[in-house]
Amino acid sequence: MNSLDWHEITKAKKMVRASDASLCGNAIAEYRDNIVIIEHGAKFREYIVPKSKVERYDGRDVYLNIPRSMLSAFDF
């Protein structure tokens, strides 16, 4: 989804949700064709997810086209 304003999305640290509606964290940066997601909680985790895995943005949350269980493949 290259038509999105990633600068504004990451500046506002928008919430990211998986395709199963699970919370994944906040979009904090754009790096090339990827977004960087930070998950806070019991464990601090960072993910770098290709923009091709973004399904949509509703103005409030960014939705991925993968379930939460697949997010660990993008852990860094």
CATH classification of the domain holding 31:
2.30.30.240
Work out how many domains the chain is built from and give that number.
1
Select from 66, 50, 59, 74 the least CA-distant residue to 1: 50
Is residue 1 included in any domain, yes or no? no
Is residue 76 included in any domain, yes or no? no
What integer pLDDT is reported at residue 33 of this predicted model?
95
Question: Range of 53's domain?
Answer: 6-70
Is residue 49 included in any domain, yes or no? yes
pLDDT tops 60 at residue 1? no
The better pLDDT of the pair 40, 31 is held by 31
**Can you tell me which residue has the tokens 């990211």?**
16
pLDDT tops 90 at residue 53? yes
How many residues are there in the chain? 76
pLDDT tops 90 at residue 2? no
Calculate mean pLDDT across residues 22-44.
93
What integer pLDDT is reported at residue 3 of this predicted model?
81
* Cα–Cα dist 76/20, whole Å: 22
pLDDT tops 90 at residue 43? no
